[in-house]
Amino acid sequence: MTALPAIEIENLGHTYGERVALRDVSFSVSRGELFGLLGPNGGGKTTLFKILATLLRPTSGCARVFGDDVSASPMAVRRRLGVVFQSSSLDPKLTVAENLRHQGHLYGLRGARLRERIEEVLKRLGIADRRDERAEKLSGGLRRRIEIAKGLLHQPEVLLLDEPSSGLDAGARRDLRLYLRQLCDQDSVTVFLTTHFMDEAESCDRLAILDRGRLVAEGKPDALKSRIGGDVIVLETHEPENLRAQIQQRFGNHVSVVDGRVRLERPHGHRFVTELVEAFPGQIDGLSVAKPTLEDVFIRETGHQFWEETPRGKRPHA
């Protein structure tokens, strides 16, 4: 008998008036999997997250959690979910334990059972020694752990996290990834997170990549990167369209222009750039050669960068 997926998304669509937020999205998540929904801001991640959390009814298609439809059976779905939102839900004036106690009351936990669960999740997340400190005194990384502790208090089968690393420094993000991996591997919790951080996406078992409401790629991070045909070569030039056409005509590669730079994929890229420079003297102002990344997968599937250039640097594509 085939195991029931933890999450099933089928032909999911959603619109806000005339604006399309999700377009015919389909994928599934297995029990105990760490699954990432990667995409730039405005890509549809938060809309899909709200649908899974039973906060928003889809316009079309369906989403199920262990077979229960999020629209038809929202209460059954909620009993299986732990939800951690991007914005904090902690009361800063309460202690860690007091925040958890109030959360437990919402799920009908009382007395000895609630005290036991509070101690279990605090120990599990390495914050038992902070139980009597007020939330406002803690660092961003510790506050995020408390948010996760709240989401785990009632022992959900699925933990949903919306941009869990936002506002955290690199060290806190690394620690968070370790905690989430332990939840999947040791406790068999299915973790579903949205993110626009590439390092966070790399740590997932599988990914779905969204752009402008469309599912553009889905699979294991290494498998997605293996779709790239070799090394990624990016060329700086004053006439990108002209150079693109010349390279494509001479070498037969598929060559594109992305944000004013010429981009192509080629095996043994470090050797090939020598041929390029010799073939087009004076036309190449700068170049880079690198192994494929998830951002390269995004560019290949969408034709534009995940991060767009602005006068202040890079920011997520809207």
Q: What mean pLDDT comes out for the span 186-190?
A: 91
From 190, 219, 248, the end of a domain falls on 219
Per-residue confidence at 150, pLDDT binned at 50, 70, 90? very high
Q: Which residues pair with 264 in a beta bridge?
A: 233, 255
Q: Are residues 20 and 156 in the same domain?
A: yes
Domain enclosing residue 52, as ranges: 7-219
CATH number of the domain bearing residue 201: 3.40.50.300
pLDDT score for 203? 93
Let me know whether 206 and 235 are in one domain: no
What's the average model confidence in pLDDT over 68-76? 96
pLDDT in tens, 278-315: 999 999 999 999 999 999 999 989 988 886 433 344 54
Query: Does residue 290 form part of some domain?
Result: yes
- 154 and 68 both lie in a single domain: yes
Residues 139 and 166 in one domain: yes
Q: Are residues 183 and 43 in the same domain?
A: yes
The Cβ of residue 279 has, within 10 Å, a number of other Cβ atoms equal to 13
Q: What is the DSSP pairing of strand 190-195 with strand 34-38? A: parallel
Bridge partners of 217, per DSSP, are 209
Number of separate domains in the chain: 2
Do 186 and 236 share a domain, yes or no? no
Measured N-to-C along each axis, helices 96-106 and 111-124 cross at an angle, to the nearest 10 degrees, of 130
- pLDDT at position 313 is 45
Domain boundary among 189, 219, 249: 219
Query: Does residue 1 fall inside a structural domain?
Result: no
The whole-number pLDDT of residue 308 equals: 45
Rounded-to-integer distance, Cα 71 and Cα 187, Å: 28
Question: Region 217-229: what's the mean pLDDT?
Answer: 93
The pair of three-digit structure tokens given for residue 165, joined into one six-digit string: 């690393």
The structure tokens listed for 68 are 């229960």
Residues 281 and 152 in one domain: no
Residues 256 and 213 in one domain: no
206-219 average pLDDT score: 96
Tokens of 147: 């948010």
- pLDDT average, residue stretch 146-155: 91
| Same domain membership, residue 242 and residue 117 | no
**Of 82-91, 170-179, 242-251, which gets the smallest average pLDDT?**
170-179
Give the end of a domain, one of 167, 202, 219: 219
Q: Are residues 75 and 198 in the same domain?
A: yes
Query: Are 136 and 63 members of one domain?
Result: yes
Question: Which pTM was predicted?
Answer: 0.88
